[in-house]
Structure formats: structure tokens, C-alpha cells
């Protein structure tokens, strides 16, 4: 019996628009992901660059004996590069990629907290005035005078950015 599954169900049942999320920071912005898909939060690990891969998934790491890709939302969103800090963490999430459940690590600058948010208060990304590709954002949620960004991981991972690879 897996607890997370039960929990997710309970959360969904309680209220369709209240969700439990993990918030984290990248490039000074606050992002959030549904807590149910988060598997683990890791300190930085040795990374292995995969030459020829799309720039925002340019490395793999050893996560408990499995080789999993390491994705960088910063690169996908076109944010300026920054060096890792003592607060940097890798958030491992489980996603369904083309029907296969896959683990993916995400580079973050800092992991904040697990919070309950109401998705009903979310707004679709504005068409103009946004620094990031709007299709990569599922919604923006207002909270304490700031925006929390809900990235659309599925769209990000299935997106272009095929590196120039001679093949």
C-alpha cells in the first residue's frame, strides 16, 4: 500500500482545486510542482554531461543505482545561467513520458516548502509581457503578493531544442 497514492486521492477528494505542492526557487522566481509527483529531494550529485542532448536535459545522474536525466528549467525558460550554491538541490519527480513512468531530476536553486494552494486562483500565463515561453507554463498562482509559477513539465520535455547532432 503506497501512502502517497492514498494521500493524493484524499487531497483530490477533499477539494478538486486544493492541491498540495512543493515550492522551490529558480533564478529568483518561485515555482511549484504537485507534491504527489515528487519522489525525493537530493543534494547536488556528480553529473555526467550527455553530449548531443537537448540543452535543458544535458546531463544524467546516478539516482539510487538508476541513471536518470537531469533537467534544467532555467535553461528551458531561457533564464540566465547561475552557479550552484550551498542551497542548490535536485528535485526528483516521476512523470509519465510517452506511457512510461520515468524519473527525472530537476535542478533548483533552493527548495522552500510543501504548501496547499488553490488552483482555482490560478491564471493562465499572459500572452504578452512574460519573459518566458508561455507554453511552458501551466498557470500562475497569486500568493502573498507574488506569483508562483506552475511549469508544464510535459510540454517542456516534449519540446524542440534538439541539439545540433550529426545523425
Partner 1 sequence: MSNPDPADIFRIEAAELLEQMEQGLLDLEHRLDDRTLVDAVFRALHTLKGSGAMFGFDRLAAFTHHCETAFDRVRKGQAEATPALVSAVLEARDHMRALVEDPSGDHAAEERYLLERLQAAVSGAVAAPMASVADAPAKTATPTAPTTWRIRFGLPENTFVNGTNPLSFLDELRAMGECRVVLDRSTLPPLEQLDPTALYLAWDVTLTTDRSRADIEDVFLFVMDDMALEIEAPSDGAPLPEVAPPVLSDIDAPARAAAAEPPPERPEPEAAARPVADAADPKLRRKVESVRVPAERLDELMDRVGELVIVQSRLQQIAATSSDIGLRTVSEEMERLCSELRVTMMVLRMVPVATLFDRYRRLVHDLQRDTGKKIELSTDGESTEMDKTVIERLADPLVHLVRNAADHGLENGEARRAAGKPEAGSIRLSARQTGGEVIISVTDDGRGIDRARVRAKAEAAGLIQPGATIADQDLLQLIFQPGFSTASSVTNLSGRGVGMDVVKKAIESLHGSIDLASRPGEGSTVSLRIPLTLAIIDGLLVRVGEGRYVIPLPAVEECIELSQEEDLRSRGRAFLSLRDTLVPFIRLRELFATGTRPDPYQKMVVVSTGEERVGLIVDQIIGHHQTVIKSMSKLHDDVTTFSGATILGDGSVALILDVANLVSLGQEQEAQLRAIA
Q: Is 52 in the site for partner 1 (CB under 8 A)?
A: yes
| Helix H or strand E encompassing 38 | strand 38-43
Closer to partner 1 by Cβ: residue 8 or 102: 102
* 163 Cβ neighbours under 8 A, 6+ residues apart: 52, 53, 54, 55
Instruction: Write down the residue that cell numbers 515555482 correspond to.
Output: 31
Among 75, 97, 115, 140, binds partner 1 (CB under 8 A): 97
Judged by CB under 8 A, the chain residues 112 through 151 that form the site for partner 1 are: none
Contacting residues for 15 by C-beta, under 8 A, at least 6 apart: none
- Does position 98 interact with partner 1 (CB under 8 A)? The reply is yes
Binding site for partner 1 (CB under 8 A): 46, 48-54, 57, 60-62, 64-69, 71, 97-98, 100, 102-104, 157, 162-163, 165-167
Amino acid at each position: 500500500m503506497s501512502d502517497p497514492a492514498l494521500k493524493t486521492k484524499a487531497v483530490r477528494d477533499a477539494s478538486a482545486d486544493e492541491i498540495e505542492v512543493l515550492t522551490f526557487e529558480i533564478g529568483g522566481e518561485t515555482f511549484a510542482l504537485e507534491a504527489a509527483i515528487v519522489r525525493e529531494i537530493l543534494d547536488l550529485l556528480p553529473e555526467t554531461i550527455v553530449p548531443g542532448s537537448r540543452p535543458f536535459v544535458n546531463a544524467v545522474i546516478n539516482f539510487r543505482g538508476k541513471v536518470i536525466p537531469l533537467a534544467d528549467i532555467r535553461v528551458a525558460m531561457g533564464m540566465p545561467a547561475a552557479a550552484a550554491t550551498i542551497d542548490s538541490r535536485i528535485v526528483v519527480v516521476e512523470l509519465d513520458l510517452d506511457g512510461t513512468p520515468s524519473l527525472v531530476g530537476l535542478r533548483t536553486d533552493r527548495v522552500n516548502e510543501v504548501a496547499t494552494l488553490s488552483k482555482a486562483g490560478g491564471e493562465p500565463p499572459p500572452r504578452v509581457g512574460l519573459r518566458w515561453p508561455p507554453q511552458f507554463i501551466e498557470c500562475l498562482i497569486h500568493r502573498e503578493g507574488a506569483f508562483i509559477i506552475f511549469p508544464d513539465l510535459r510540454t517542456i520535455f516534449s519540446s524542440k531544442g534538439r541539439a545540433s547532432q550529426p545523425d
